[in-house]
Amino acid sequence: MRNTILLTTLVAGCCACLAQSSPKIYNTAKQKLAAGHQLVGATVYSPDPNMYCAMANSGYDFTWIEMQHSPLTYGDVAKMIWACRGASAMPFIRVPDATESDIQKATDIGALGIIVPTVDTVEKAEAAVRWSKYPPQGRRSMGSGQYGALYGNDYRQTINDNMVVVIMIETPIGVDNAEKIASVPGIDVIFAASTDLGNFSGHKIGDPEYEAMVKRIHDVTLAHGIKLGGPQMWKDRAGFTFFQGPGETQLIRSGAQVNLGITPGRGAR
């Protein structure tokens, strides 16, 4: 009997130790990435909380909240995330740049993913990680925000394990530096930006020069054990698992066409 009690105590103690050592993960998008699943995020331009909640609960894995190419403010986005707390899609924000100010505000209002555009250098990739994470992995400052009410009183202890850092390679300079960029610790996803790769290089999808840039990003990213991202139209390209989906206007148009039973293009102006 005494041996049974001792064994039960030891097992309970070991289970408690394992529970303490296992990170608390509430970012389901990060869980899916780690499991090798494909993720799609709907792109959000509108400040309307009802629109945001409709998108965040429509089956997407995350929301790509667009603050680089929209007039959205951090106040707008804070209200959107709060209004739809508990949504199935995790809130990711594409910040305007890898600055402490931009990333600090995005994380404080509850972003679980930080997407940084136009990463050409190691320094910018390092900044993306530095300001997204608390010490010792980063240099994020401890301040106030709605993050605690969203994710719990242990947010400070858990968020580094839940944050997803996405950096975008969008230029030939970034492609040339891809190996060095991918060597930066703490990057979860490298995104091959289809439109701006063409914009900055002068080549289009299908051109040998364009495809060579995409292949380099692909090969370097996967060789470093980092997840590879791109537009949703690249869902069938080998190795890609993280995708930017359409925005509100395109989704409304597509939904209306389904509702009306018309094919795309009919009645278009």
The CA-atom distances, in angstroms, between 185 and each of 39, 143, 179, 237 are: 22, 24, 12, 26
| DSSP-assigned beta bridge partners for residue 168 | 191
d(CA 242, CA 191): 8
As a whole number of angstroms, the distance between CA 57 and CA 59 comes to 6
Tell me the C-alpha distance between 253 and 59, whole Å: 18
Question: Which residues is 90 bridged to in the sheet?
Answer: 62
Of 69, 203, 218, 224, catalytic: 69
Please say if 218 is a catalytic residue: no
Q: How many beta carbons lie within 10 A of that of residue 101, not counting itself?
A: 12
Task: Say if residue 41 is exposed, middle or buried (CB neighbours under 10 Å; 0-12, 13-18, 19+).
Answer: buried
Query: Which residues have a catalytic role annotated?
Result: 69
